[in-house]
Amino acid sequence: MTAYIQALVVRSEGLTPAVEEIHLPEVGPGQVRVAIRAAGVCHSDLSMVNGTLSPPHPLILGHEAAGEVIEAGAGVTRVAPGDHVALNWSPPCRDCWFCTHGEPWLCSTANIAALENGSTLDGAPVHVTLGLGAFATQVVVPERAVIAVPPELAWESAALLGCAVLTGTGAVRNTARVAAGESVVVIGLGGVGLSVVAAAKAAGASTVIAVDVSESKKALAEAAGATEFVVSSENLSKDIRRLTEGRGADHAFECVGRASTIRAAWRATRRGGQVTVVGMGRADDMVQLSALDIFSSARTLRASVYGSADPDREVPQLARDVLAGTLKLDHLVTDRIALADVPAAFDRMSKGEGARSVVIF
């Protein structure tokens, strides 16, 4: 079965994305066709448009999504038509060195920014973001790129689990391993940053300081579980120390992806503390730290890729947590939009407005 579908495409760098008609390939062995029901607007999608990343064009945007399986190819065993699934933009192969050494989030074959999957635009190949291209009415993906979720889980919640929630929660639980009683500062309060705030609070952090450039994020931060809110400024490190008995935070999470905010997170952390970079930045945005500072501060600086998580195991658990009421996601969704409204959502994101916009199909 072939299909013509609607998808959000950016034809070349500098152009505004627009809804286009795409021809999807037939479902091959080991593949599934998914009707997308909800898709979150992630900062990584904006990075594909604003020059932070340099993907090939034309490009179907979108990677944080959930939907219903409507067709399964030969040999598919993970799911069947009618199943509800969250999409996984970094499906591990389970065979490479990283996968066999307990680090599937670093799979050497999975983290591909954009690729061709047989979809065409005007008869020519079109690339798909992170192997998915999920700002579309349908997608055809490998079966390992879908994770079954309970049918009673709301579509928008299922979509967020596949990126923002897993990334933010995993950064706290898996990468930094925040412990009860520790202090945490979170810089950048988009969907990922707010997920970090919620996970830190759930981990028992005594102080959770949320930082953003916009005062409007205060209510969202408090809804997520922040104990303090600080508007970012040149005095940020002093503000953080004032709230942490003069030491600085035990943990700082940078959820923006800029050298300036990584340095701010570094300065806001106590000696011997941990700085976890969650945001994805530009290749030419260099972080400068003095050799003496690195030695004398004894801080740890590291990244958290996809929450250092195994999505096949952790997404179903997060789904169960949502249904049990122990994981709240309502505060993350600030705008419910149509596919054509994604460029406006990018504008709001660039201005620091709201948390997550979700396309409802």
> Is residue 34 situated within a structural domain?
yes
pLDDT at 183: 98
Q: 104 and 174: one domain?
A: no
Q: 47 and 184: one domain?
A: no
Q: 246 and 339: one domain?
A: no
Kindly report the average pLDDT of the chain as a whole number: 95
> Is residue 335 situated within a structural domain?
yes
Q: Structure pTM? A: 0.94
Q: 9 and 119: one domain?
A: yes
Q: Considering just the CA atoms, what is the radius of gyration of the chain in Å?
A: 20
The pLDDT > 70 percentage for the chain reads 98
> Is residue 316 situated within a structural domain?
no
Q: 19 and 140: one domain?
A: yes
**Domain around 249:** 164-306
pLDDT at 352 over 90: no
CATH of the domain at 118: 3.90.180.10
pLDDT at 113: 61
CA distance 104 to 170: 13
Q: 59 and 100: one domain?
A: yes
Q: 12 and 122: one domain?
A: yes
> Is residue 343 situated within a structural domain?
yes
pLDDT digits 0-9 by tens, 235-293: 999 999 999 999 999 999 999 999 999 999 999 999 999 999 999 999 999 999 999 99
pLDDT at 212 over 60: yes
CATH of the domain at 189: 3.40.50.720
pLDDT at 3: 80
pLDDT at 74 over 90: yes
> Is residue 153 situated within a structural domain?
no
| pLDDT-derived band at 127, boundaries 50, 70, 90 | very high
pLDDT at 54: 87
pLDDT digits 0-9 by tens, 15-72: 999 999 999 999 999 999 999 999 999 999 999 998 888 899 999 999 999 999 999 9
> Is residue 180 situated within a structural domain?
yes
Q: 210 and 242: one domain?
A: yes
> Is residue 250 situated within a structural domain?
yes
Contact indicator for 110, 92 with CB cutoff of 8 Å:
yes
How many structural domains does the chain have? 2
Q: 204 and 255: one domain?
A: yes
pLDDT at 51: 84
pLDDT at 330: 86
CA distance 335 to 67: 19
| pLDDT-derived band at 1, boundaries 50, 70, 90 | low
Q: 266 and 352: one domain?
A: no
Stretch among 81-90, 164-173, 316-325, 326-335 having the lowest mean pLDDT: 326-335
Q: 103 and 230: one domain?
A: no
Average pLDDT rounded to a whole number, residues 338-351: 95
pLDDT at 146 over 80: yes
* Amino acid code (one letter) for 292: L
pLDDT at 111 over 80: no
| pLDDT-derived band at 116, boundaries 50, 70, 90 | confident
Question: How many other CB atoms sit within 10 Å of the CB of residue 41?
Answer: 29
Taking alpha carbons only, the member of 45, 12, 59, 8 closest to residue 341 is 8
pLDDT at 77 over 80: yes
Average pLDDT rounded to a whole number, residues 177-194: 97
Q: 301 and 258: one domain?
A: yes
CA distance 345 to 143: 30
> Is residue 319 situated within a structural domain?
no
